[in-house]
Structure 1
Amino acid sequence: MIGMARERRLAQIFVEVADSLVEDFDVIDLLHRLSARCVELLDVSAAGILLADAHDELQIIAASDEHTRLLELFALQHDQGPCVECYRTGAARTNIDLRRAEVTTGWPRFAAQARETGYLATHAIPLRLRSRVVGALNLFQTTSHRLGDDDIALAQALADVATIAILQQRTLEQSHVENSQLEYALTSRILIEQVKGVLAERWNTSVDDAFAAFRSYARARHLRLSELATRIIAGDFDTTTIPGPASARPEERHG
């Protein structure tokens, strides 16, 4: 995507984000969309957003897709990887060649698994607002082409939007509220992971397709992903009312 078409799409995306930042918006859904937009705009293969928990460790909160090996790769970064360094320093780590041992000496397990998953390069962009850093945006490439300065600046802009979405302007100076929001987002992610597994098993389909159907149902009815997930896990919601994905076997789709 180049030239005016890319600029128009970029404008559309920022309008989309601005429209989402209403009171009581669904932060998990917004972060998933931002991850997908990174892949669309930056010519990378995958993207994920990681937040620091109460123990100052990074946890995956949203990803451009839900493939297990990719999620495991993100999860590794709670204790090692470029996102950890990025989060600790508040500085971006970009155009990291995962094939060069001298570049990846600090996180050999992460680099080895990334290469096994098919990635050749990675980037870590801080989620920051002024001096406050709450996490990192992780980008992966299956090719070795370098991201230019304009692409890195755009990645940082998208990361900044994610940060604002997480913190919300009205709570920036209320650290106790901010911390509870971060914990709520991380807890919500765990519930949603459980629901994805339940629906994938019920429909005999992939976790990716189950999550897409779950999101589509929630958004069409203006339900928060976390609230719907909580009701499903608690047994207070009949999941047969959620249309199954096209990939589900016919006998499973509404079962």
Structure 2
Amino acid sequence: MPREQQLSRVFVEIADSLIDDFDVIDFLQQLSVRCMELLDVAAVGILLADEHGILRVLAASDERTRLLEFFATQHEQGPCVECFQSGQPRTNIDLTDSRITDAWPQFATQAQEIGFVATNALPLRLRGRVIGALSLFQTDPSPLTYQDVSLAQAMADIATIAILQQRTLAQSETERGQLQYALTSRIVLEQVKGILAERWQLSVDDAFAAFRHYARSHNLKLAALARDITDGTFDTDTIPHGAAGTTA
């Protein structure tokens, strides 16, 4: 599909999603997939700073990327950490460059083991303030073009709008509450992914795909359904988790 058509689809999804009561986690999950398609990268992660200024993984295109980003935040290494701290993009970083492996030994090694050879990070910005970062991983060493980087920053800005779309940002306490709620929801979601993967004997990615497909097809918020599962008030046997249940 031409990029123009892909962009049109993305903006239609944005218009449909940014309503008063929408599922920010699901939206960002979908946005990470759209970034992969638009920018022709291998994986995407979206990280958000919590109320203490510590980066947390909010969405990722797949489980290996989520784990890599989690690993990076634990070791305070990688482009997203530096991008968040500086507020500046870090683009076309060669993970095989000895200067990079020396600067980020754990992160670079882990990324290469997965198969990534290049990475990029764009800030999630709001009124001059950085609240997180969007990361792009490549298995192809070809650098992103200026147009690609500009589009990636636009997608990062869209993610920021989605996270803080309640239009009450003048009140910093309200804003912090919105950020913390999103992060707390993600923690519950990760717990449920593990529960379902073990219960269904599936990979975490396949279990999450089935869970997400069920939530979307029944107009349920991911976080709300996840809480019902962890509380034991929802029967997970009602979620199809074969081939029919894993359609994105």
Q: Please state which band the TM-score falls in when normalised by the shorter chain.
A: over 0.9
Q: Deviations over 1:112-134 (max 9, x none)?
A: 11111111100000001220211
Distance (Å, rounded) in 2 between the aligned partners of 1:209 and 1:117: 18
What is the aligned partner in structure 2 of residue 56 from structure 1? 53
Look up the equivalent residue of 1:76 and give its one-letter code. Answer: F
- Contact kept, 8 Å, 2:48 with 2:56, in 1: the verdict is yes
Match of 2:224 among 201, 224, 227: 227
The CA deviation at 1:38 is 0.8
The CA deviation at 1:73 is 1.1
What is the aligned partner in structure 2 of residue 214 from structure 1? 211
Alpha-carbon spacing, 1:198–1:157, altered in 2? closer, same or farther (3 Å): same
Alpha-carbon spacing, 1:52–1:209, altered in 2? closer, same or farther (3 Å): same
What is the aligned partner in structure 1 of residue 92 from structure 2? 95
Look up the equivalent residue of 1:82 and give its one-letter code. Answer: P
The CA deviation at 1:71 is 2.2
After the TM superposition, which residues 21-36 of structure 1 pair with which residues of structure 2 at under 5 Å, given as runs? 21-36=18-33
What is the aligned partner in structure 1 of residue 180 from structure 2? 183
What is the aligned partner in structure 1 of residue 111 from structure 2? 114
After the TM superposition, which residues 193-212 of structure 1 pair with which residues of structure 2 at under 5 Å, given as runs? 193-212=190-209
2:41 counterpart of 1:47: no
- Contact kept, 8 Å, 1:205 with 1:247, in 2: the verdict is no
What is the aligned partner in structure 1 of residue 135 from structure 2? 138
What stretches of structure 2 of length at least 5 have no aligned partner?
Answer: none
What is the aligned partner in structure 1 of residue 155 from structure 2? 158
Distance (Å, rounded) in 2 between the aligned partners of 1:214 and 1:153: 33
What secondary structure sits across from 1:171 in the alignment? coil
The CA deviation at 1:247 is 8.7
- Contact kept, 8 Å, 1:59 with 1:77, in 2: the verdict is no
What secondary structure sits across from 2:137 in the alignment? strand
2:71 counterpart of 1:76: yes
Match of 1:167 among 164, 174, 185: 164
- Contact kept, 8 Å, 2:59 with 2:66, in 1: the verdict is no
What is the aligned partner in structure 1 of residue 10 from structure 2? 13
- Contact kept, 8 Å, 1:98 with 1:120, in 2: the verdict is yes
Look up the equivalent residue of 1:202 and give its one-letter code. Answer: R
Distance (Å, rounded) in 1 between the aligned partners of 2:126 and 2:52: 20
TM-score (norm 2): 0.94
- Contact kept, 8 Å, 1:209 with 1:245, in 2: the verdict is no
After the TM superposition, which residues 227-246 of structure 1 pair with which residues of structure 2 at under 5 Å, given as runs? 227-246=224-243
What stretches of structure 1 of length at least 5 have no aligned partner?
Answer: 249-255
Look up the equivalent residue of 1:40 and give its one-letter code. Answer: E
Match of 2:82 among 73, 82, 85: 85
Distance (Å, rounded) in 1 between the aligned partners of 2:70 and 2:193: 17
TM-score (norm 1): 0.91
- Contact kept, 8 Å, 2:168 with 2:174, in 1: the verdict is yes
Distance (Å, rounded) in 1 between the aligned partners of 2:229 and 2:150: 40
Alpha-carbon spacing, 1:209–1:247, altered in 2? closer, same or farther (3 Å): farther
Aligned-residue sequence identity (percent) comes to 61
- Contact kept, 8 Å, 1:83 with 1:125, in 2: the verdict is yes
Alpha-carbon spacing, 1:100–1:16, altered in 2? closer, same or farther (3 Å): same
Deviates more, 1:42-51 or 1:191-200: 191-200
